[in-house]
Structure 1
Amino acid sequence: MDLQLSGRVAVVTGASKGIGLAVARTLHEEGAHVVAVSRTRTDDLPDKVVHVAADLMDPQAPARVVAAAVEEFGGVDILVNNAGGPPPGVTLPRVGFLAPDDAAWREMFEFNLFAAVRMVRAAVPVMLERGGGAIVNVSSTMGKQPSAMNVDYGAAKAALDHVGKALSEEYGPQGIRVNTVLPGAVLTDWWTKEGGAADVIAGMAGADKDSVISTVAPQMMRMVTGRLVHPQEVADAVALLASPRSGSTTGSEVVVDGGFLKEL
């Protein structure tokens, strides 16, 4: 299926690894001009993808990113707010409401909500000048499933879900569609890196890291597929929502979680 993305300009944040890298590659393969945003460039990005080095914890960074896209390609048609997860230097999961202090809460919201809000604020005027566009926010099923684990992260993602629907209501009549993708547990370095989620859960469950990834975590989360989600599976959903082929889809939440969420 032709996603009709050829020649469109896409900004993808958190594009150096995991879901963001898969999204950047996929949009590039579909013919889009891709501006990949991360602190450092990875060799895994295609050569023709333009990299903008930025720390989105810096309130001024989003405006610089959008300005770079305008200078390089003349505008922005697609914004994928993928940057998020544990802030730099933070390891999740973090168990218990009392675990994060005020500074941890602020840092979590800065990275998972305010960075996206600022990216949207910078991109919307440029999109309106081009007659519209598509925004896809990458949230998390944890925003829908309250838990004593990662409560600050879940709260930030729930807020991002709210913002997405509000933006869709305001800017849909002006040609900007806004949708949200909710991944579940995705096989990224959040899980696999040294000291990451798999190591933390292994210590809690008395298991080894490989068993956590292959068996313990999927069973613990009651994932009906029996495995963690692959980043490409999330990227495919993002690409479809960014495409004009989804022209009547806005304000939606697309879940890619291996069957973790069970509510109606």
Structure 2
Amino acid sequence: MDLQLKGRVAVVTGGSKGIGLAVVRTLVEEGAFVVAVSRGGSEGLGALEGPNLVHVAGDLMEEGFAEEVVARAVGAFGGLDVLVNNAGGPAGGVVLPRGAFLDGGDREWRTIFEFNLFAVLRLTRVALPYLMERGGSVVNVSSALARQPATNNYEYAAAKAALSHVAKGLAEEFGPRGVRVNTVSPGVVRTNWWTDEGGVADMFAGAMGVDRDTLLDETLPGMLRLSTGRFVEPQEIADAVVLLASPRSGSTNGSDFVVDGGLLKEM
């Protein structure tokens, strides 16, 4: 299926690995011009190097960086059609997963909200005038945790819930101005955060007395009652993101697509 993205200009945050890298790769394969934003490069991003890709390195929490990102997109490719707000997770020395409510304080909450909500809103605010010029779209990557409160990761889940909420309002305000705003909410995704040496999988595996592969392939899917029996792959999230970004989803606005392997059980 032709997603009608050839020649369109996209900004993707968190674009050097995991979900973001899969989104960048898919957009490039569809013929889009892509500005990948991340703190640093990666082997995977380097493999995509070419005339359709620009990498902008920096911290989305730094003042003025949002303006720099949009300026690079407009300067390199002449405009902006798609904004994918994918960057999220831990930042500023805050480690995820987080524990019980009393284990954290204001610093953790402020840092997580700054990265997962306010940095997203800042970049969106800068991008919207350009998106309105060309009838563009915004896709925010939220989380299944935005819908499912738990007794841990309070700050992250609350920030993602706020992001999903704001996206719905933006869709209502800017839909009549030609800009669609949608959300993708992943469940448990097999990213570097889990699989890197010394990462979360190793931490959980040690605590549970199993090896990393058993934990990822059997233990956690069973504990989380994933009806597919496995973690979500980054490409599966990217496919949903790129479809929502595409003109082929021209009547989809204000929606939240859950891609979670059956994690959420409620209606």
2:147 is equivalent to residue 137 of structure 1: no
Q: Name the counterpart of 2:229.
A: 226
RMSD between superposed Cα atoms in Å: 1.2
Per-residue displacement from partner, 1:84-114 (whole Å, max 9, x unpaired)? Answer: 0122543322221112221111110111111
Q: Does the residue aligned with 1:94 lie in a helix, a strand or coil?
A: coil
CA positional deviation for 1:194: 3.0
Q: Name the counterpart of 1:80.
A: 84
Q: Does the residue aligned with 2:87 lie in a helix, a strand or coil?
A: coil
Alignment coverage as a number of residue pairs: 263
Q: Percent identity, please.
A: 62
> Contact 2:99 / 2:153 at 8 angstroms: preserved in 1?
yes
Q: Which runs of 5+ in 1 are unaligned?
A: none
Q: Name the counterpart of 2:199.
A: 196
- Counterparts of 1:1-264 in structure 2, within 5 Å, are 1-45=1-45, 46-48=48-50, 49-130=53-134, 132-264=135-267
> Contact 1:13 / 1:82 at 8 angstroms: preserved in 2?
yes
Q: Which runs of 5+ in 2 are unaligned?
A: none
Distance 1:44 1:73 in 2: 22
Deviates further, 211-220 or 85-94: 85-94
Distance 2:150 2:98 in 1: 11
1:72 maps to a residue whose letter is A
Distance 2:154 2:199 in 1: 17
Distance change >3 Å, CA 43–CA 202, structure 1 → 2: closer
Deviating above 6 A after TM superposition, structure 1's stretches of 4 or more consecutive aligned residues are none
Distance 1:89 1:222 in 2: 31
Distance 1:147 1:194 in 2: 27
CA positional deviation for 1:241: 0.1
Q: Does the residue aligned with 1:98 lie in a helix, a strand or coil?
A: helix
Distance change >3 Å, CA 250–CA 115, structure 1 → 2: same
Deviates further, 187-196 or 28-37: 187-196
Distance 1:57 1:28 in 2: 26
Distance change >3 Å, CA 89–CA 208, structure 1 → 2: farther
Q: Does the residue aligned with 2:43 lie in a helix, a strand or coil?
A: coil
Scaled by the length of structure 2, the TM-score of the pair is 0.95
Per-residue displacement from partner, 1:152-211 (whole Å, max 9, x unpaired)? Answer: 110000000001001000000000000000000100011112332212322432332222
1:205 maps to a residue whose letter is M
Distance 2:95 2:206 in 1: 14
> Contact 1:26 / 1:235 at 8 angstroms: preserved in 2?
yes
Distance 1:256 1:2 in 2: 22
Q: Does the residue aligned with 2:101 lie in a helix, a strand or coil?
A: coil
CA positional deviation for 1:73: 0.7
Scaled by the length of structure 1, the TM-score of the pair is 0.96
Deviates further, 204-213 or 173-182: 204-213
2:65 maps to a residue whose letter is A
> Contact 1:226 / 1:258 at 8 angstroms: preserved in 2?
yes
Distance 1:206 1:100 in 2: 27
